Structure 1
Amino acid sequence: MAPHYCGLCRRTSFAGRRHLYSAAHRQRLREALGRLQAKVEAARAAIGSAAVRRYEAAEPERRVWCLCCGRDVPRDGRRGGLALPHAALLQHLAGPEHRRETARFWRENRAEAALRQRFVVSAEDYGRFTESLARALAAYEEREDECIREMAARIREAERRRQETVQAALEPPTEPQLCAGPSVYSSTVGQERDIFHDAEQPGPSGMQEVPDLNWMEPGQALTFIGHQETEGKGNIHTGARPPWLIKEEEEVGSQQQIGPSYEEFLKEKEKQKLRKLPADRVGANFDHTSQTGDSWLPSFGRVWNHGRRWQSRHQFRAESGEKKKKR
């Protein structure tokens, strides 16, 4: 008997087609059909109550492995920016190609004939699904239109409030003193300017005279809080030069120097550098206060820290003589 290859079990049986009636093949067939049936039943549940939702670009595409056709099938459909759950799978199950491949699969794998109708969708059921999907799309569009109208109403209300605020800000304020006419207003302003100008003139003792405030109407009199004197400095009311006209040279001359000078800073910086050097370095303890004549020249003696350099030569000779005696 010729060997038989089973695509479901993915093995070659040398017993021929008798493998299709074996327990292992029947068990694997039931498990595979059970996985597919669960997804088909979920799609059938959406026939009478189709749903519509907004499509998310970041959402991964969900696919279903069709055991009968031997290929991946998308589960959800798309229409513009909307996602239609189970629409693509139902369309595949109701197609003639799936019916033909399902009949072939049942014939080749010796599956139960009564179970074949559970894995296909009739044309009547698919028609009901399309009608339910049309109603769901209409309801979704109506909700979207209602949301757009509400948003437009809120935008118009916000724009109306903004225009009212701008108009209120641009309108000139209405004050009682402006209603008397331009001639009365100008004369009143001129009298007020003259009175305060007389009050700001300094007297012989440096004191300002208090103007007569009885010209104002009752209930609107000003309260005099006394003269505001500055110690040793004048102000613009006493005829002093305003601060924005004072030259920069005068300001710089009047300022006192705060902190050390730049030369002192450089000396301190140099001292800080010397403190970081090792204390036992050559010349660290040299006596700079010693007096040396102009005719002094180095005698090429040894390195020294104190005294004259020629003294280091005698010290070197004395030390070398002691070393020779020890030897």
Structure 2
Amino acid sequence: MAVHYCALCRRTSFAGRRHLYGAAHRRRLREALGRLQEEVAAARAALGGAAVRRYEPAEHERRVWCLCCGRAVRRDWRRGGVALPQAGLLHHLAGPEHRRETARFWRENRAEAALRERFLVSPEDYGRFAAELAQALGAYEEEEEERIRQMAARIREAERRQRETVQAALEVGAAAVLFLAHLSLWLLCFRDSSHNAEQPGPSSMQTGPDLNWMESGQALTFIGHQVGAEDEGDGSEQQIGPSYEEFLRQKDKQKLKKLPADRVGANFDHTSQTGDSWLPSFGRVWNHGRRWQSRHQFRDHRRNQALTFVEK
């Protein structure tokens, strides 16, 4: 008695190859081919118009089981962050290996010969699909580049407006600080002048009928502080309090006092001489700014040396 193993039914038949004509085998064959035909029909529908989509792992990582070849095939292709729907399955269906394995499967399982072409894709159809897919991919990349340029322009505009807002706020704050400094100094000078005006003179300590101006009915009139002759002819306005530049320098000094005194670069002298063996790409020891700025300092130093040598 002949023994036959059917891979589709996954059982051994002792009836030999007559098992291929049995009702159970024919039913399982129709069901398996029906599932594969649904996937092939969806792939064939994509031949009419290639599409490009944004890559989504949950959607575009799906695989299709090819009954003829006995292996799983990726349905979609991926290129960076872009997915090409049905491109992987169409490439498999148009390949020579799938055509050869389909012929073997039809021969071994006694499937209807008229149905075999429904599970194949001709190389000509796939070539036209590949050309359309390349055009669609190029158009999609151009749209993405244009979208990125527009987004970058919006970001630059937002940054410009933010800088203008911050600059305006800083100017208003600096003007307010300068006004308060001048006002406090003016109030201090006014308080000192008022205090000096109220101090009694040496004559007030004396007593006598001739110096008692309160009893004689005389009155004194305060006419204010007199300006010297050297100031009247000058005509220039005197500035009260420190200037804005001095205020900023003092503010920077206060910030430096809060830093560690033994930090790297605290005592660095930018006016020091540098030899030719020094490599500018490694940077100097710096007190402020970024490390790569020392490279520009070195280049400026060398350029100034060259100009000095030419002038001499």
Q: TM-score range by the shorter chain?
A: 0.5 to 0.7
Other-structure match for 1:35? 35
Other-structure match for 1:151? 151
Secondary structure at 2:64's aligned position in 1? Answer: strand
Other-structure match for 1:97? 97
Deviations 1:88-118 (A, max 9, x none): 1111100001001101111111111111011
Shift of 1:32: 0.4
**Alpha-carbon distance in structure 1 between the residues aligned to 2:126 and 2:42:** 14
Q: Is the 8 A contact 2:102 2:116 kept in 1?
A: yes
Shift of 1:131: 2.0
Other-structure match for 2:20? 20
Secondary structure at 1:46's aligned position in 2? Answer: helix
**Alpha-carbon distance in structure 1 between the residues aligned to 2:112 and 2:25:** 13
Match of 2:192, as an amino acid?
Answer: H
Q: Is the 8 A contact 1:40 1:119 kept in 2?
A: yes
Change over 3 Å in CA distance of 1:165–1:24 after alignment to 2: same
Shift of 1:63: 1.1
Q: Is the 8 A contact 2:75 2:87 kept in 1?
A: yes
Other-structure match for 1:128? 128
Q: How does 1:137-216 map to 2 (within 5 A)?
A: 137-171=137-171, 195-199=190-194
Other-structure match for 2:44? 44
**Alpha-carbon distance in structure 2 between the residues aligned to 1:57 and 1:27:** 35
Q: How does 1:46-61 map to 2 (within 5 A)?
A: 46-56=46-56, 61=61
Shift of 1:153: 0.8
Identity of aligned residues (%): 71
Match of 2:78, as an amino acid?
Answer: R
Shift of 1:56: 4.3
Q: Which moved more, 1:157-166 or 1:100-109?
A: 157-166
Other-structure match for 2:84? 84
Structure 1: gaps of 5 or more residues: 179-185, 205-211, 216-327
**Alpha-carbon distance in structure 2 between the residues aligned to 1:190 and 1:103:** 102
Q: Is the 8 A contact 1:75 1:85 kept in 2?
A: yes
> TM-score if structure 2 supplies the norm length?
0.55
Structure 2: gaps of 5 or more residues: 200-221, 226-312
Q: Is the 8 A contact 1:48 1:132 kept in 2?
A: no
RMSD: 3.5
Deviations 1:13-39 (A, max 9, x none): 222221111111111100000011111
Structure with higher helix content: 2
Change over 3 Å in CA distance of 1:156–1:15 after alignment to 2: same
Shift of 1:201: 7.7
Q: Is the 8 A contact 1:94 1:120 kept in 2?
A: yes
Shift of 1:73: 1.3
Other-structure match for 1:253? none
Change over 3 Å in CA distance of 1:112–1:194 after alignment to 2: closer
Change over 3 Å in CA distance of 1:189–1:164 after alignment to 2: closer
**Alpha-carbon distance in structure 1 between the residues aligned to 2:186 and 2:6:** 116
Change over 3 Å in CA distance of 1:3–1:30 after alignment to 2: same
Q: Is the 8 A contact 2:60 2:75 kept in 1?
A: no
Change over 3 Å in CA distance of 1:20–1:194 after alignment to 2: closer
Other-structure match for 1:114? 114
Shift of 1:169: 4.1
The count of aligned residue pairs is: 197
Match of 1:65, as an amino acid?
Answer: W
Shift of 1:59: 6.6
Change over 3 Å in CA distance of 1:119–1:190 after alignment to 2: closer
Shift of 1:159: 2.5
**Alpha-carbon distance in structure 2 between the residues aligned to 1:56 and 1:88:** 16
Q: Is the 8 A contact 1:48 1:128 kept in 2?
A: no
Match of 2:35, as an amino acid?
Answer: R
Shift of 1:67: 0.5
Q: Is the 8 A contact 1:62 1:75 kept in 2?
A: yes
Q: Which moved more, 1:7-16 or 1:30-39?
A: 7-16
Secondary structure at 1:47's aligned position in 2? Answer: helix
Q: Is the 8 A contact 2:60 2:85 kept in 1?
A: no
